[in-house]
Amino acid sequence: MLGCQLPAWLAPGETNQMAETPLSQVAVGDEGLLLFGRLVTLNAGGLLLSLESLPANPELILPGRSSQVTLTMAHGEYQMDASVVAFEQPTNNLLLEFTEPMQPIQRRKFQRFPVALPISARPLYDDGRLDPWQDCTTRDVSVGGLRVVLVKCVSAPTRADVRLRLPGERNDLLVSCKVAHAKPLGAGRFDAGLQFTKLSADASMKFVKYLEEIAKDLDFAIHG
């Protein structure tokens, strides 16, 4: 645990939340000082890394210094801008606070996970029409969206609202999506790929942690 006063977003007892993660990279300052470490905890406000590489002069890691993080997790990679909050020795814990939202790194495509997650979806159309909420189950999920069969659609929807509850959570997440593709199956049914367009920072963190657990459970290869 860091000896400094912790920011409000890092709750006590969270510092051992995520263990056995791949090495992530941090470029600190304008000179791009490269450091490598493993993720200890992550939430909407920032992250805590346990560094495995150190600069010759640790004073280069000063509070307030800008940094760019490439965060590697079992299900994918993310980039985000952050600011150094504190660096502690001899534990080599580096606390960073986000200055911009984290963004997934787009490879050829996002890793999809074949997960049946119960959700509610409401198809929307360009002309302003919207269908009633319908209960359905995902065919797969990824960091960028999900795939689901929508029913009773008068035509292919262009957008959708999604309401879902992740395992272990008490509250639903409400997510806005655009329809990336919609394959007609007949009788008003569409096999639709929904791409997230609006996800709060808190919801994003919860979804990232959910996918990380799925990746470990399914023993997917680490994205590298």
- pLDDT tens string 36-68: 888 888 888 888 999 988 877 878 888 999 999
Q: How many domains does the chain have?
A: 2
Task: State which of 104, 133, 155 marks the end of a domain.
Answer: 104
pTM: 0.59
Question: Which pLDDT band holds residue 115 (cuts at 50, 70, 90)?
Answer: confident
- Kindly state whether residues 98 and 135 are assigned to the same domain: no
Least confident of 8-12, 108-112, 117-121, 172-176: 8-12
Boundary residue ending a domain (38, 69, 104):
104
What pLDDT score was predicted for residue 200? 78
Instruction: Judge whether 70 lies within some domain.
Output: yes
E strand map for 29-169: 33-42, 46-51, 66-73, 76-88, 93-98, 103-104, 118-124, 134-142, 145-150, 159-164
Distance, in Å, from the CA atom of 18 to the CA atom of 113, rounded to the nearest integer, reads 20
In a domain, 8, yes or no: no
The verdict on 187 and 135 lying in the same domain is yes
Confidence category of residue 25, pLDDT binned at 50, 70, 90: confident
Question: Is 14 a domain residue?
Answer: no
Parent domain of 161: 118-218
Q: Does residue 220 have a pLDDT over 80? A: no
User: Is 1 part of any domain?
Assistant: no
What's residue 20's pLDDT? 62
Residue 124 and residue 92 share a domain = no
Cβ atoms of residues 39 and 209 within 8 Å: no
Q: Does a structural domain hold residue 6?
A: no
Q: What is the pLDDT of residues 69-114, one digit of tens each?
A: 988 777 777 888 999 999 988 889 999 999 988 777 655 456 788 8
Residue 111 located in a structural domain:
no
- Of 104, 136, 154, the domain-final residue: 104
Q: What pLDDT, on the 0 to 100 scale, is given for residue 7?
A: 54
pLDDT digits (tens, 9 = 90+) for 164-214: 999 888 889 999 999 999 999 999 999 999 999 887 778 887 888 888 788
- Name the CA dihedral angle for 4, 8, 13, 14, rounded to a multiple of 10 degrees: -110
Residue 112 lies in a domain: no
Question: What is the rounded CA–CA span in Å between residue 165 and residue 163?
Answer: 7
12 pLDDT above the threshold of 50: no
Give the per-residue pLDDT at 8. Answer: 57
Query: Does residue 145 lie in a domain region?
Result: yes
Nearest to 117 by CA among 85, 80, 145: 145
CATH of the domain at 170: 2.40.10.220
Q: State whether 98 and 125 are in the same domain.
A: no
- On whether both 87 and 124 belong to a single domain, the answer is no
Separation CA 82–CA 46 (nearest Å):
8
- In this predicted model, which residue has the larger pLDDT, 216 or 188? 188
First to last CA, the chain: 29
Query: Do 129 and 190 fall within a single domain?
Result: yes
What CATH number does the domain containing 81 carry? 2.30.110.10
